[in-house]
Amino acid sequence: MKRLLLPFVVACLLCACSHTLKTAVKDGQIAPSFTDTLLTSNFLWVRGFGAPNPQHTSDSQRRIMSREAAVAHAYQRAGEVLYGADLEAHAQVVDAVSSGSTIETSTQGLISHMELISTEYLEDGGCSVIMRLPRTYLQQAGIDPEKTK
């Protein structure tokens, strides 16, 4: 009986963990591929990135502020999924060569009850966070992310 129980428990744990965002950090760098958002039956999962400010003088300050930037980025991603995004893009081409382009996005909406699940730091002091929002809160607010877009 014990021989059957262990594989069953391991399989259950693997299935339970498969519906989350995986790390985007590999060997201290941003991985070559990763998922930014994931909508499961229980949660909206979002990832955010933050870069360190080279003008900050201490490692602690760079790490703290890159983490804050990553959390803000994750909130922005959640807002884009839930409420959509306004996009403004400009490109300038001179003599058939792009001489500059800008893309700006914005979103607006109220998001509460986000949970910070993980924080990872990159070798250069950058930060990646994974946050999630329980779908029960979305349902209570009358928001259906699958119908937002």
In the chain, what are the domain boundaries?
Answer: 43-143
Q: Taking 90 as the threshold, does the pLDDT of residue 129 lie above it?
A: yes
Most confidently modeled range among 20-29, 34-43, 85-94, 121-130: 121-130
Q: What is the pTM of this model?
A: 0.74
Q: Over the chain, what HEC string results?
A: CHHHHHHHHHHHHHHHHCCCCCCCEECCEECCCCCCEEECCCEEEEEEEECCCCCCCCHHHHHHHHHHHHHHHHHHHHHHHHHCCEEEEEEEEECCEEEEEEEEEECCCCCCCCEEEEEEECCCCCEEEEEEEEHHHHHHCCCCHHHHC
pLDDT, position 8: 42
48-107 pLDDT, tens digit per residue, is 999 999 899 899 999 999 999 999 999 999 999 888 888 888 888 888 888 888 888 888
pLDDT, position 16: 43
pLDDT, position 143: 83
> What tokens does 126 get?
């950058």
In the numeric block, the tokens 């403004």 are attached to 88
Mean pLDDT, residues 125-134: 94
